[in-house]
Amino acid sequence: MIGRAGSVVRVRAYLDHAATTPMRPQAVAAMLPFLTEAGCFGNPSGGHSVAREARRALDEARDSVARDLGCEPGEVVFTSGGTESDNLAVLGSHVATGGEVACSAVEHHAVLRACESARGTTVAVDDSGKLRIDALADALHPGVGVVSVMLANNEVGTIQPIAEVAAVVRDRAPGAILHTDAVAGVGWLDVAFAVGAADLVSVSAHKFGGPKGVGALVVRDNVRIEPRMLGGEQERGRRAGTHDVAGIVGMAAALSAATTGHGEQVTRTKLLRDRLAEGVLASVEGAFESAVPAGACPAHDREGKLVSSFHVRFDGIVAEELLYLLDEAGICASAGAACASGALEPSHVLLAMGLTPAEARSAVRFSLGVATTEAEIDHVLDVLPELVGRLRS
């Protein structure tokens, strides 16, 4: 990595796992044969021995993913990642049902833009980023064909009440397909529970230690969606295109590792996140943890958020500047979404939660992963107060 003046910036704390994660060793090991070994390069749609070897790997990966997500293998549609899964879910069911689209105002852009393109409506959230069930009920009617509400928010970590959402959808828009974008939740939440409550569920491999460019959409057995990628008959006609066998195998291995170690990983990460959050709030004045209502007990309220997420706003600073100084100190964190040029835009999530644009520009997201260490957290706690102070002086 080039640092300033060509010097090397040593990464001392990678706290941007919500953007992407390093690959789990199990995923790398599972993929390698399909990248390097003779006879492992086959196209699983073929009929000869090389194709059959690839087919076997694909079938096993599908079984494994289905087991970990709590669905049948035939319900797993492999895609190129979270964005494609979300697009396929929202637009594929919009076309199939002919019904209107409704989604929460804090969805990932992969859902939000798809909803916009179908002239759908967005449903308000409260100041903690949680979907307002009353607003959802108001927005729903029998003409709604798709409802999309994420399992957990990728920016601020707020967990959405999917069971309540499902109940309201059943009541107010019985014909609607319920999609949940579980991309941010895999590894931290019980995704099988979401699969049980929703009709469509998106996941993305690189958010839980798998490779980039591969994901899946769970399509429950009784649900019909129209494909968005047209071509071959792969994925039972729901998604055309030659399978990325290595990527799919890597995703299955990563998901399996995430599922096996789930309890231990959650406990450990939560301890580190709380250490970070409490350390920052104690040492920096004018620091406000996002999605925690004023006066609430932060520790208690964090129950409603991903254990991997600490989203915080610092009065009187611009996140762009703090991220710059953090980067210089070897700390990788992020804020909001970047536009095509790479410039930070004020987060639509924070604006939907009622923050002013200036407040939204002062917020930073630290997101932890399974490999995050105490030393990384302590490095942040060491340097952050001084950096914030410098920007305020």
Please, which residue, 226 or 382, has the CB nearer to other proteins? 382
What does the alpha-carbon distance between residue 189 and residue 183 come to, in Å, rounded to a whole number?
11
Which of the ranges 32-40, 105-113, 241-249, 333-341 carries the binding residues for other proteins, by CB under 8 A?
Answer: 333-341
Question: Residue 339 catalytic?
Answer: yes
Q: By CB under 8 A, tell whether 390 contacts other proteins.
A: yes
Residue selected from 60, 63, 164, 321 as contacting other proteins according to rule CB under 8 A: 321
Residue selected from 4, 10, 119, 300 as contacting other proteins according to rule CB under 8 A: 4
What does the alpha-carbon distance between residue 252 and residue 84 come to, in Å, rounded to a whole number?
18
> Strands (DSSP E) along the chain, which ranges?
13-14, 76-79, 100-104, 121-123, 144-148, 177-181, 200-204, 215-219, 287-289, 309-314, 331-332, 337-338, 344-345, 363-367
Which of the ranges 2-10, 71-79, 159-167, 243-251 carries the binding residues for other proteins, by CB under 8 A?
Answer: 2-10
User: In angstroms, what CA-CA distances link 26 with 23, 127, 183, 184, 185?
Assistant: 8, 39, 20, 21, 20
Q: By CB under 8 A, tell whether 5 contacts other proteins.
A: yes
Residue 336 C-beta: closest distance to other proteins, Å: 10
Q: Would you give the binding string for other proteins spanning residues 344-383, x where CB under 8 A is met?
A: xx-----------x--------------------------
Size, binding site for other proteins by CB under 8 A: 23
Token pair of 366 as six digits: 């630290």
**Catalytic position from the list 40, 103, 332, 339:** 339
Please, which residue, 303 or 328, has the CB nearer to other proteins? 328
Q: Restricting to residues 301-320, which ones interact with other proteins according to CB under 8 A?
A: 318, 320
Residue type, 181: D
Which of the ranges 256-264, 343-351, 365-373, 375-383 carries the binding residues for other proteins, by CB under 8 A?
Answer: 343-351
Which of the ranges 58-66, 167-175, 228-236, 334-342 carries the binding residues for other proteins, by CB under 8 A?
Answer: 334-342
What does the alpha-carbon distance between residue 107 and residue 340 come to, in Å, rounded to a whole number?
19
Contact 271, 277 (CB under 8 A): no
Q: By CB under 8 A, tell whether 386 contacts other proteins.
A: no
Residue selected from 50, 325, 351, 371 as contacting other proteins according to rule CB under 8 A: 325
Please, which residue, 230 or 338, has the CB nearer to other proteins? 338
Among 199, 204, 200, smallest CA distance to 186 is for: 204
Q: By CB under 8 A, tell whether 10 contacts other proteins.
A: no
Please, which residue, 2 or 297, has the CB nearer to other proteins? 2
What does the alpha-carbon distance between residue 243 and residue 248 come to, in Å, rounded to a whole number?
8
Contact 357, 350 (CB under 8 A): no
Q: By CB under 8 A, tell whether 340 contacts other proteins.
A: yes
Sorted by sequence, the CB contacts under 8 Å of residue 226 that are 6+ apart come out as 91, 92, 93, 95, 96
Please, which residue, 98 or 342, has the CB nearer to other proteins? 342
Contact 312, 366 (CB under 8 A): yes
| DSSP label at residue 134 | H
What is the per-residue DSSP string for 274-327?
HHHHHHHHHHSTTEEETT--TTS-HHHHGGGB-TTEEEEEETT--HHHHHHHHH
Residue 361 C-beta: closest distance to other proteins, Å: 8
Which of the ranges 27-35, 241-249, 293-301, 342-350 carries the binding residues for other proteins, by CB under 8 A?
Answer: 342-350
Residue 343 C-beta: closest distance to other proteins, Å: 4
Residue 344 C-beta: closest distance to other proteins, Å: 5
Count of Cβ atoms closer than 10 Å to residue 123 Cβ: 26
Residues annotated as catalytic are: 339
Contact footprint for other proteins (CB under 8 A) = 2-6, 9, 318, 320-321, 324-325, 338-345, 357, 390-391, 393
